[in-house]
Structure 1
Amino acid sequence: MTALEAFEAILNEPGMSARFQFQPGQMQLIDNRALGHKRTAFRDWPEAERKRLLVRLWLRDSGSRTYNG
């Protein structure tokens, strides 16, 4: 087993994840250095006014965005 496979096995253990159901107007703020995250598949609405909108935002005191945050 590789280190990446071992890491994934740990993340897939019961109790190592949480599920959230977001409602319109809610927002999620994640520190990528402290929390792993992913999403399950979804089916979007066909009507343009009901489609999901996700916006990525980087917040920092100074400097520019980098891969490591």
Structure 2
Amino acid sequence: MSKDTPCVAVCMIDPKTKLCFGCGRTLPEIARWHAMERAERLAVMAQLAARMAEAGLQPIAASPRRA
């Protein structure tokens, strides 16, 4: 994954908060991620940890890659 994405390839949306368990983004943010300017992506990424904590969610870690 690029450094400009918080994606950890665990794409599951919490039905209550509408946040991805893996990265904390909303579906609209995920859908338009590649159309966003880099500064906008970085601004969203700066909010994700607090957003997840406020929602009471623990991010799900990515599964290790198999060789």
* TM-score normalised by L of structure 1: 0.21
Normalized per residue, which structure has more helix? Answer: 2
Higher relative contact order (CA 8 A, sep 6+): 2
